[in-house]
Amino acid sequence: MITTTPIARWTWHREGPSSDPVSDCLGAVLAARQALLERALITSAPSLFVSVWKQGTAQTRLFKDRLPVPSGDHASASQRLAGVIENHASQGSVGLVDANIECAGDWLGPEGAVHEPRMFVLGCIVMIDALVLQLETVSDAWMSHDLRGNRQPEIFELNQPRLAMALRTLSTVMDTETVPGDPTDFGIPNDTGVAPHARSDGTVPDTWRIFELPLRERRP
C-alpha cells in the first residue's frame, strides 16, 4: 500500500560549514541515489528538483527547477548539474540548498516483484552549518503488518532486510549513523526499518482507514 504522506523517514547529518552548498547538496543526494541503484534497492530516479535560496531570506529563490540526472557516475553528474544551476541562477549569495528525488522501486511479494513508481523520496538540505540527507518511504512493504492492521509475515520477511540494507548503505555513504525520524501517523521508524503502531492489547490499528482515506477524500 502506498500512502500520500511518508510512512517513515530517516536522516544522516554532517556538521560544519560548506564552501560550495550547491555542489555539496548535489554530491550527497546523487551519491546516495547511485548507491541505492547499484544495490537494486531502487530501480529508477531520472530527475531531481532543486531549489537554491538567497542567503539571509526564506522568500527569495535564486534557482528552482526539475533537472534530469545526467548519465555517468555521481561525481560527474553532480559537477554537470552544478554548472547548469550556476548558468541559470539569479545573482546573489547562496544560502540554503535543497534537492529531492522521487525514486521508483520494487517490493517483493509471494508471486514476485511489484513495481511502484514512487517508493522512496531522497532529499538533501545544505544549511549554513550542516548537511542533512533524508530518506522517506511511502510503502508499507517493510512492515510486519499492512496499513489495514493485517499481519503480512511473508512480505515482511522478503522486504524488511532490503530496507535495512538501504539504511546501512546510506550510513556508509554519509559516514555517519542513521537517525530514525519521529513517528508518523502510519509507523514508528527505527534503525533497521519501521514498526507499526500497536494498541495496548497488541493489535494494530487500521491507519489506512483512519488517516489515508480521509486525506484522499479531502484532495481535489
> What pLDDT, in 10s, does the model give residues 92-111?
999 999 999 999 999 999 99
How far apart, in Å, are the Cα atoms of 84 and each of 23, 64, 73?
A: 11, 12, 17
Whole-model pTM above 0.85? yes
Instruction: Report whether 80 contacts 19 (CB < 8 A).
Output: no
Instruction: Report whether 50 contacts 65 (CB < 8 A).
Output: yes
Instruction: For the chain, report the end-to-end CA distance as a whole number of angstroms.
Output: 21
Q: Please, what sign has the CA dihedral across residues 173, 174, 176, 182?
A: negative
Compute φ and ψ for 34, nearest 5 degrees: -65, -40
pLDDT of residue 218 exceeding 90: no
pLDDT at 100: 97
Higher pLDDT, 149 or 218: 149
* Whole-number Å distance between alpha carbons of 56 and 93: 9
pLDDT of residue 155 exceeding 90: yes
pLDDT band per the 50, 70, 90 thresholds, residue 56: confident
pLDDT at 9: 98
Residue with cell 500520500: 4
pLDDT of residue 201 exceeding 90: yes
Average pLDDT over residues 17-29: 95
| 190: Cα separation from own chain's centroid | 15
* Whole-number Å distance between alpha carbons of 118 and 107: 11
Neighbours of 129 (CB within 10 A): 9
* Whole-number Å distance between alpha carbons of 203 and 34: 39
Q: Bridge-partner residues for 106, per DSSP? A: 115
pLDDT at 154: 97
Residue with cell 546510506: 170
pLDDT of residue 58 exceeding 90: no
pLDDT of residue 178 exceeding 90: yes
pLDDT band per the 50, 70, 90 thresholds, residue 43: very high
Average pLDDT over residues 153-180: 97
